[in-house]
Chains A and B, each alone.
Chain A
Amino acid sequence: MSILEVENLSISFQQYGSGLKRRTLDVMSNLSIALEAGEILAVVGSSGSGKSLLAHAILGILPDNAKTSGDIRYNGEVLTPERLQSLRGKEIALIPQSVNFLDPLMQVGKQVRQSARKGDAISRQKAVFERYQLAPHVAKMYPFQLSGGMARRTLLSTAAVSGADVIIADEPTPGLDETVMKEALENFKEFADEGRAVMLITHDIEAALTIADKIAVFYAGTVVEIAPIEDFTGNGEKLRHPYTKALWKALPKNDFIPIPGAQPHLDDLPLGCLFAPRCPLMTEACTKARPEMRDLRGGKVRCIHAT
């Protein structure tokens, strides 16, 4: 059984346009995804594709004007807002992208100890600092005294001592140089090796490929493909969805040739397949209805033409 399952999750926002009319924006439609213990799932997509929204929905921190439908299940049990409140930070932990999420007025050692729920907090904090090569005196420092790398390892320590079974990392890598990035990704791998489930949210498909087991590709608020990383190879022949193929070909290490156009805006979504306007395989059927997610060659795809 999957440790965390999202089924048919749809999110809409109530928003004011110009003037007084309130409209509803469908920012996520019928999204299904599952996280397995001991596995790293990378969620990849461009900005505005809804990948951060998914994290916010799982953690129950969507803004007040959001409406959701569909289920999020943790260990088979449906997460209600109350249940979520009690799980957040304990069973489900977020590793935020920025150091600004640390409390600037509290010693970092104390912050890490606060997240430890089982066992002796002090010894656990010491152990985790040793593991991430943070000197003992760092525990007495305040966030502003930390270098970028130290702060990031502090955030990791917080998630590590929490004993959470599900770890969600939101854009943890942009702007890191290669050695630091490698180290950061290694840390996530360790989490997975301990039997936890890791969801790595990133727009950087290359970083994701180095550690993830599976990649879920987001486009305009839904998942278009879930593929094992072995499929990302060569010219992308093994990939299922035309968008994933285009993404793969546009990488600097591959062709670096983009397809034209841009992701549709939420207030102007196509009626049929969300990718149809940019798709080389588009037929009339594509413009009629949204394709359902289906299993294909050990992965999942939302495209009627994929083989």
Chain B
Amino acid sequence: MRLEAKGISFKYGKNPWLFQDVDFEIEAGEVVGLTGVSGRGKTTFCRILAGFERPVEGEITLGGKPLQQTGVHPVQMVLQHPEQAVNPRWKMQKVLQESGPLDDALRERLGIERTWLSRWPNELSGGELQRFCVARALAANPKFLIADEMTTMLDAITQAQIWQAVLEAAKEREMGIIVVSHERNLIKRLCDRVVEL
């Protein structure tokens, strides 16, 4: 199954175009790096792919059909700052269950300890929170996962742990991954090909 973006243009209100006429495609199971100078709208482009924003022009199709706007989105995104992506008033168990019933295998694969489930978000470090965000995204069974600077704020060991888990899961499920990162070594390590925006 292929995710395809054709002629995507975007701007906020009456501001100048952030980007215009961008084409992008990714096959199932593929790992694609997305790079470019900061300020070129990489994050906004990813948000469009994941359904957070609607493009001003252009169309996104999955397997030839346009993406539906309701229901579980087949393209899930993990953001740079996990603190903003979890409700601070929820215990971690509830955060994880938002995308479906608890999956112990997935939890253990991401190194999430059972005792963390009964904690509040502010009691966990950024690395621990990000594991939850990844687990939550994967439990929604997405066809594609977008990692927008997913491990930028994390130490090297946590970064490697999370990526190992994500790559394994992607292989099993034939899931495609879009990697946005400014770290050249990481992109080189992870991606089958790299696209410059």
- Chain A interface, DSSP helix/strand/loop, else mixed: loop
Partner of B38, one of A177, A206, A256, A257: A177
Report how far A180 CA is from B161 CA in the complex, Å.
Answer: 28
Write out the residue numbers on chain B whose beta carbons fall within 8 Å of the beta carbon of A262: 111, 113, 127-128, 158
Report how far A260 CA is from B158 CA in the complex, Å.
Answer: 9
The answer to the question of B169 belonging to the interface, with a C-beta cut-off of 8 Å to chain A, is: no
Write out the residue numbers on chain B whose beta carbons fall within 8 Å of the beta carbon of A247: 155-157
The answer to the question of B192 belonging to the interface, with a C-beta cut-off of 8 Å to chain A, is: no
The answer to the question of B154 belonging to the interface, with a C-beta cut-off of 8 Å to chain A, is: yes
B38-A203 in contact (CB<8A): no
The answer to the question of B20 belonging to the interface, with a C-beta cut-off of 8 Å to chain A, is: no
A47-B157 in contact (CB<8A): no
Partner of A203, one of B155, B163, B184, B190: B155
Report how far A178 CA is from B35 CA in the complex, Å.
Answer: 11
Partner of B111, one of A174, A205, A248, A260: A260
Residue of chain A at shortest CB distance from B129: A47
Write out the residue numbers on chain A whose beta carbons fall within 8 Å of the beta carbon of B113: 262
Write out the residue numbers on chain B whose beta carbons fall within 8 Å of the beta carbon of A260: 111, 161
The answer to the question of B195 belonging to the interface, with a C-beta cut-off of 8 Å to chain A, is: no
The answer to the question of A246 belonging to the interface, with a C-beta cut-off of 8 Å to chain B, is: yes
Partner of B152, one of A175, A178, A248, A256: A175
Count of chain B residues near A, Cβ 8 A: 32
Chain A interface size band reads 20 to 34
The answer to the question of A287 belonging to the interface, with a C-beta cut-off of 8 Å to chain B, is: no
Known: A175-B80, A247-B155. A257 touches B182 (CB 8 A): no
Known: A46-B125, A252-B188, A253-B185. A259 touches B157 (CB 8 A): yes
Residue of chain B at shortest CB distance from A267: B123
Known: A46-B127, A47-B125, A250-B160. A177 touches B155 (CB 8 A): no
The answer to the question of A258 belonging to the interface, with a C-beta cut-off of 8 Å to chain B, is: yes
Write out the residue numbers on chain A whose beta carbons fall within 8 Å of the beta carbon of B176: none
Residue of chain A at shortest CB distance from B38: A177
B38-A258 in contact (CB<8A): no
A175-B38 in contact (CB<8A): yes
Report how far A82 CA is from B196 CA in the complex, Å.
Answer: 53
The answer to the question of B153 belonging to the interface, with a C-beta cut-off of 8 Å to chain A, is: yes
A250-B126 in contact (CB<8A): no
Write out the residue numbers on chain B whose beta carbons fall within 8 Å of the beta carbon of A250: 156-157, 159-160
A258-B161 in contact (CB<8A): yes
B154-A256 in contact (CB<8A): no
Chain A, 21-58, contact with B by CB distance < 8 Å: what is the 0/1 string? 00000000000000000000000111110000000000
A252-B189 in contact (CB<8A): yes
Write out the residue numbers on chain A whose beta carbons fall within 8 Å of the beta carbon of B160: 250-252, 256-258
A176-B38 in contact (CB<8A): yes
A45-B183 in contact (CB<8A): no
A47-B161 in contact (CB<8A): no
From B128, B183, B186, B188, residue with most partner A Cβ within 10 Å: B183
Partner of A176, one of B123, B159, B164, B182: B182
Known: A148-B38, A175-B38. A47 touches B155 (CB 8 A): yes
A252-B183 in contact (CB<8A): yes
Chain B, 17-57, contact with A by CB distance < 8 Å: what is the 0/1 string? 00000000000000000000111000000000000000000
Write out the residue numbers on chain B whose beta carbons fall within 8 Å of the beta carbon of A176: 38, 182
Shortest beta-carbon distance from A56 to chain B in Å: 17
Shortest beta-carbon distance from B48 to chain A in Å: 20
Partner of A252, one of B37, B128, B155, B186: B186
Residue of chain B at shortest CB distance from A219: B155
Question: 20 other contacts beyond A47-B154, A247-B156, A252-B189, with CB at 8 A cut-off?
Answer: A44-B155, A46-B125, A47-B125, A47-B127, A48-B126, A174-B153, A175-B80, A177-B38, A180-B38, A251-B156, A252-B156, A252-B159, A252-B185, A252-B188, A253-B189, A256-B163, A257-B164, A258-B156, A259-B157, A265-B123
Top-9 shortest CB links A-B: A48-B125, A46-B155, A258-B160, A47-B126, A250-B160, A252-B185, A253-B185, A250-B156, A252-B189
Q: Which residues of B contact A (CB under 8 A)?
A: 37-39, 80, 111, 113, 123, 125-128, 149, 152-161, 163-164, 182-186, 188-190
